[in-house]
Amino acid sequence: MEESLKTILENFRTAFRIEGHEIGEYSGLQLAYIGDAAYEMVIRTYVMDQGNMQVEKMHKHTTSLVRAGAQAAMYRAMNEADILTDEETRAYKLGRNSKSYTKAKNATMTDYRTATGFEALMGWLYMAGHYSRMIELIAFGLKAIGELKENE
């Protein structure tokens, strides 16, 4: 699976004539931007695999997992368990410390900034091609917030 995701990204860049950038060239908000989408795709896939349900129910379930409060809780659990590498922590801090011009709609500013850092971490993992690690951290976070049972 790891190779297929890398191949898809390479094919995408070739088809649209996009030059790849070094991961360090992206700002924290750029990483959060792509990380938001990458994380949501993983969560939507997870929700789809929960069995047959109405699209509205899938949307509500997904929304509960991609909101800032859930992302912040997942990051806090990762931080408390001390499972992030130094590079991953730097990516998180790059997003968390970014000057955002949007306001938190349904979250505290602390949760919003923590979630932005979490999304930047997801974006960094995605853009660096560390898909297995991204999935591993998301699974850890889902377990930490009680969404995913230990044996799943």
Active-site residues, by number, are 36
- How far are the Cα atoms of 45, 130, 135 from residue 38, in angstroms, in the given order? 11, 12, 10
93-109: b or e for each residue (b if 16 or more CB lie within 10 Å)?
ebbbebeeeeebeebee
Alpha-carbon gap, residue 51 to 2, rounded angstroms: 25
Distance, CA of 36 to CA of 40 (rounded, Å): 6
Dist. CA 145–CA 152, nearest whole Å: 14
